[in-house]
Amino acid sequence: MYQKNTKISITIDGDGSEIFDYSLPHPHSYTRNGDIYTIEYIINGFFYTQKGIAYLNDILARFTLSMKVLSTKVTSSEDDGIELSYFQGLKSVVRHKNYESVDIGQDNIFWAIKLYTEDLIRESGEGNLIAYSLIESFAFTRFIDRAKDRSTLKSKCRDTWKWYEERGWTIPTRKRKLTDEEVKMTRSENAKRVAEQKADKNYKTVVNLLTGLFNDEYKKKNGKWHIGKIASAVGMTEKTVSKYIKEYDNETATTK
């Protein structure tokens, strides 16, 4: 028998007021189980073209953005239905443009699915569950001819959904890639920091020798420091040792 229309089933966590809040048509079927209820609508037409599936998927996405949808299901029906235009009261989907052409030098299909999922999270509000069927429908509508096979495409959808589900449907902040100039500055600052740490360590090494129990071993008969002997002991140049001794003398002079 010819299957002329499409049935969509949406399971929702709510009290049923969502139907009125978004001016939805009266459901063809309504069942409740505790705090969860399922509504069914029969839509005129059978959506089999890429454009038609994308349009139907858009409506399902709008359901998810408007209320706490737990799952969605699409089947066929012989019964008379209504037009998709009846669902214009739902929240609109603002999407990342050109998902199909995303190109960041990695797995483009995976990143298109990921960006689409994040747009759904962003529009629905972080922390709200996104129905897996939306992600899979999006992917199969657009990438079935480009993916290695159906199993691989389904795996990308499943992995993406699970990754965000484990993170409570939040979008992590991504680190921005540094520009060449920023990399250069960062390296310069890091080199400066390392040099300062080394200088501080060397200074303390010399001071520890100057104030140690055996500091007399590094003095000449006239009481002055034996720069060469100190330099040999600490593994530094005589110029560096002289600089630290001068800094130490100035420091002790100001504290007296």
Give the pLDDT confidence of 63-100 residue by residue, as tens digits: 877 888 888 888 888 888 888 888 888 877 655 555 55
Residue 61's pLDDT band (boundaries 50, 70, 90)? Answer: confident
Angle at 188 between CA 184 and CA 191, to 5 degrees: 140
Residue pair 177/148 in contact by the 8 Å Cβ criterion: no
Q: How far apart are CA 212 and CA 243, in angstroms?
A: 19
Q: How far apart are CA 188 and CA 14, in angstroms?
A: 57
Amino acid 176: pLDDT:
61
Q: How far apart are CA 80 and CA 211, in angstroms?
A: 97
Evaluate if pTM is beyond 0.85.
no
Q: How far apart are CA 39 and CA 20, in angstroms?
A: 13
